[in-house]
Structure 1
Amino acid sequence: MLTALRLANFKAWQETGVIALKPVTMLLGTNSSGKSSLIQSLLLLKQTAHSPDRSMHLNLGADEAHDYFNFGSFNDILKSGTQSPRQFAIEFAFQADPQSRIESGQFACSYGQTTHGAAVIQTLALSTGGHRFRALRREKGAYAIFVNDDALPRAKGRHLAPERSIALSAEAIAVLGHVGAIAEDLSLAIRRELENIVYLGPLRRKPERDYVWNKMTPGQIESDGHRAVDALLASALTRGAQHNAVLDGVSFWLNRMKVADKLEVKQLGRSNRYEIVVHQAGVSANLRDVGIGISQVLPVLTVAYFAPAGSTIILEEPEIHLHPLAQSVLAELFVAMSRARRIQFIVETHSEHLFRRMQTLIARRETSAEQIALFFAEREADGAMLRKLTVDEYGRVSNWPKYFFGDALGETREQARLMFTRQQRQTGQ
């Protein structure tokens, strides 16, 4: 699980400070306030870690088929107006899976620009327990490798350049001697944390009328929701201990949201084609023929059950096209699945209903302020600013930004005033 994030000179953010991440972290804010940039920093590292080129310092996203974002150039990431040194930084901390040899660790990397305009690592620091490993860029692309607070490097050279932003090279690990194995395990743990990130964006595919099942379980659900139905088909058509687990879980939450009683996978004749049937109030219909809200929330619900236990699921606007009750139930989903499957949710949302239900869950003691982190992003003259919302045990927020969700009480007062004024006039007549 990711436990902290910090950005410096990254897009709208001059300095975020250390952002404490929880099992459920919600990011709210005005449009173009920098919320998405917080998410994109992690996806930038993830797509770099997946790069087939080990020498890649930062994968800015030239491959539209496999990358999450095309970040453009180094200058498109660097915060406008940044003076010398022209560098940006990404840092995160994590609590590793219980199976890992590394219990927890920290990643910190700063990036500069070569004379040819490419992004290049300036400083990479990997830490765990009492061990800290650093790779510092020197002249002509050479790197110096330091351990802990050593004044002198263990080695220097171009061959010691870090790999894919997250790992020391094999040559660097070799010169570290007996602590090299720790550095190697730490790099692997960081890679796994990034691999365990699952991202679902705000733009999701419309459903098909029927689907071909190739008798395989998909490797992942893609950022536009593609393969979500494949995961449902595999759940329904593969026998074993997990038979129907994903399908039943998704049906449960659709029912809880009052948008469907259940889903059914139905074979079309004797072919290998299947349709998703939605049952609601005694009526059955193809997924293609029901409201768009069901198909848009379907990947959100599916990924909560399909992602491996211990994953970090990043969601942008999961509430899109849902009515208010369904939006609020998403809060219950996040709390329940974070507890049952050790799933971490980082959610960027504009939904008042989702937020208000999260407050209610805290007041009911179904979760706590220690398990939930709420942040509000807003723009200032010199960039973005992040405010941690302070929530008490009753779900009350003491530092809520004024009028972000509108002024409900003010609207009620104005309606009452206008009604009273109109009644007075009618009485006077």
Structure 2
Amino acid sequence: MFTRLRLVNFKAWSDTDDICLRPLTMLLGTNSSGKSSLIQSLLLLKQTARSPDRTVHLNLGGDEINDLFNFGDFDDVLNQEADAPRLFSIAFDFDNHATSRIAKGGFECSYGQTSSGSVVVQTVTLKAEGRQFRATRREKGAFSILVDDEQLPRAKGRGYAPERTIAFSAEAIAALDKDGQLVEDLSLAIRRELERIIYLGPLRRKPERDYPWNKTKPGDVGSDGRGAVDALLASALLRGDEQNYVVNGVSRWLSKMGVADKLEVRQQGRSNRYELIVHRDGVACNLRDVGIGISQVLPVLVVSYFAPRGSTIILEEPEIHLHPLAQSALANLFVDVSRERGIQFLVETHSEHLFRRMQTLIAKQDASSTDSAMYFVRRKGKSAELCTLEIDDFGRVKNWPSGFFGDALGETREQARLMFERQKASTQ
């Protein structure tokens, strides 16, 4: 689980300061305010960590098949404040003692640009067990390897450049001698934490009338939810202890949202094609013939049960095309699944209904400030600004930002004023 994030001079952010990340973290705010940049920073590191080229310092994307995002070039990532230095940095802490020898650790890296325009690591710092290890760029592409508070480098030269941002080179590991194993373990723990990220974007595929199945379990659902149906087919058709686990979880939440009673996988004759059947009020319909909201929320429900335990699921606008009651139920989904499966949810949303239900869950003590964090992002000049929403034990927000979900109270006052004016006019 990621526990802290900080961005400096990254896209819309001049400096986020330390952002506390909880098992459920919600990001709210206006369009183009900078919410997506927070999410994209972790996805940028994820696609760098899995790059086939180990010598790459930062993979800004461009491969439509393998990359999550195309970030453009250095200037597209760099914050455009006039007095900002031509460096940006990403830092995070993590805590996942259940699945790694390194229980807790930290990562921080600053990036610059070479004369040829390439993005290059300036300084990368890995932290764990009270220790820290740095690789700092010197002239002509050489790097110095420093440990803790030592003033003199353990090694320096061109062979000590970091790999895929998060790992020290084999030469650097060897130069660190007894500390080399700790650095190797730490790099592996950071890589695994990034690999555990699962991202589902706001644009998801429309349903088909039927689907083929290759009798295998997909690796992931994809950023557009393309693998969600394959995950459902595998859940229903592959024998084992977890057969129908995903299907049953999805059915349960479709029912709680009030959009369906259950979901069924049905084979078409003796062919290798299958259809998804939605049951509601005694009527069975093909997924293609029901409202678009069900097909759009389906990947959200699937990934919640298909993702390996301990994963971090990043969601953009999970509420899209859902009616208000179903949007509200998403809050219950995130709280329950996070607690049940050890899943971390980072959610970008515009849904007032989802947020209001979170307030209610906090008031009912079904969620707490130790399990959840909510932030409002707004624009301040060319840069973004983050407001931590202070919510008391009764779910009340102590520091409502201006323009938060519009002005509902003002609208009510205006409606009342107009009503009284018309009543007064009708009696004269």
Q: TM-score, normalised by structure 2?
A: 0.99
Partner of 2:132: 132
Distance in 2 (CA, whole Å) between partners of 1:141 and 1:85 is: 20
Corresponding residue pairs, total? 428
Q: Distance in 2 between matches of 1:198 and 1:51?
A: 16
Percent identical among aligned pairs is: 68
Indicate whether 1:247 and 2:251 are aligned.
no
* Residues 335-344 or 418-427, more deviating: 418-427
CA distance in 1, matches of 2:389, 2:103: 29
Residues 81 and 383, structure 2, Cα contact 8 Å, conserved in 1: no
Mapped partners of 1:99, 1:410: distance in 2:
50
Give 2:207's aligned residue.
207
Q: How far does residue 96 in structure 1 lie from its aligned partner after superposition?
A: 1.9
Q: Is 1:103 the equivalent of 2:103?
A: yes
Cα offsets for 1:141-195 (capped at 9, x unmatched): 0000011011000011111100000011111011111111000000000000000
Tell whether 2:48 aligns with 1:48. yes
User: Where does residue 345 of structure 2 map in the other structure?
Assistant: 345
Aligned to 1:321: 321
1:155 maps to 155
Relative to structure 1, the CA distance from residue 358 to residue 82 in structure 2 (aligned partners, 3 Å threshold; closer, same or farther) is same
**Other structure's SS at 1:92 match:** strand
Matches within 5 A, 1:35-184: 35-81=35-81, 83=83, 85-184=85-184
Conservation of the 8 A alpha-carbon contact between 1:97 and 1:310:
no
Aligned mates of 1:382, 1:261 — CA distance in 2: 48
- C-alpha distance in 1 between matches for 2:22 and 2:85: 32
Secondary structure of 1:159's match?
helix
CA distance in 2, matches of 1:372, 1:306: 22
Provide the rounded CA distance (Å) in 2 between the counterparts of 1:338 and 1:82.
Answer: 42
Contact kept in structure 2, 1:9 and 1:82, CA below 8 Å: no
Measure how far apart 1:357 and its partner are.
Answer: 0.1
- Secondary structure at the aligned position of 1:153 is classed as coil
Partner amino acid for 2:221?
Answer: I
SS at match of 1:27: strand
Structure 1 counterpart of 2:236:
236
Equivalents in 2 of 1:331, 1:105: separation in Å?
A: 29
CA distance in 2, matches of 1:142, 1:379: 39
1:232 and 1:82 map into 2 onto residues whose CA distance is 50
Answer whether contact 1:201 1:316 (CA < 8 A) is retained: yes
Q: Structure 1: which 4+ aligned runs deviate by more than 6 Å?
A: none
CA contact (8 A) 1:146 1:154 kept: yes
Change in CA separation of 1:111 and 1:151 when aligned onto 2, cut-off 3 Å: same
Question: 2:414, 2:75 → 1: CA distance?
Answer: 48
Q: Tell me the residue number matched to 1:334.
A: 334
Which residue is 1:398 aligned to? 398
> Any conservation in 2 of the 1:126–1:133 contact (CA below 8 Å)?
yes
Distance apart, 1:84 and its partner CA: 6.8
1:329-349 Cα offsets, whole Å, 9 max, x none, are 000000001100000000000
Q: Name the structure 2 match of 1:290.
A: 290
Q: Which residue of 1 aligns with 2:7?
A: 7
| SS of residue matched to 2:347 | strand
Q: Distance in 1 between matches of 2:421 and 2:8?
A: 54
Tell me how far apart the structure 2 counterparts of residues 130 and 405 of structure 1 sit (CA, whole Å): 43
CA shift, 1:70, in A, is 0.5
Per-residue deviation, residues 202-233 of structure 1 (Å, max 9, x unmatched): 00000111111111010111000011000000
Corresponding residue for residue 272 of structure 1: 272
Question: Which AA in structure 2 matches 1:190?
Answer: I
Letter in 2 for 1:247: V
Q: Distance in 2 between matches of 1:160 and 1:209?
A: 54
Structure 2 CA distance for aligned equivalents of residues 2 and 82 of structure 1: 32
Give TM-score scaled by structure 1 length.
0.98
Mapped partners of 2:410, 2:86: distance in 1: 47
Contact 1:204 / 1:225 at 8 angstroms: preserved in 2? yes
Q: What runs of 5+ residues in structure 1 fail to find an aligned partner? A: none
The question of whether the paired residues in 1 share the 8 Å contact of 2:87 and 2:110 is answered with: yes
Residue 91 of structure 1: how far off its partner (Å): 0.2
